[in-house]
Amino acid sequence: MKPFSIEVQCRDGTPLMIRCGDNALQVEKVLERWRDTGCWWEGESEKAFFRVLCQDGGIREIYCDLLSRQWFLYRIYD
């Protein structure tokens, strides 16, 4: 899956709501969070990753590009 742009509502840097197009999902719980520097030698910026449990029972990985402040959906777990 190629990451795609999403909107995320946060409080104190913690995701509360994910919006993908017309679909909005409440984040029930942040299961894990970490930072990744990526390919810094190629100019890739640092990212803040979150593995979250959403209201539909699905687990998703999302990240925020810390330079651009844009959010992306990275992975959906079955």
Q: Is residue 56 classed exposed, middle or buried when 0-12, 13-18 and 19+ CB atoms within 10 A define those classes?
A: exposed
Task: For the chain, give the mean pLDDT.
Answer: 94
pLDDT band at 69 (very low <50, low <70, confident <90, very high): very high
* Residue 74 near residue 61, CB atoms below 8 Å: yes
Angle value at C-alpha 53, between 75 and 24, nearest 5 degrees: 80
Per-residue pLDDT tens for 10-39?
Answer: 999 999 999 988 999 999 999 999 999 988
Number of helices (H), then strands (E), in the chain: 0, 6
Who contacts 21 (Cβ-Cβ below 8 Å, separation ≥6)?
none
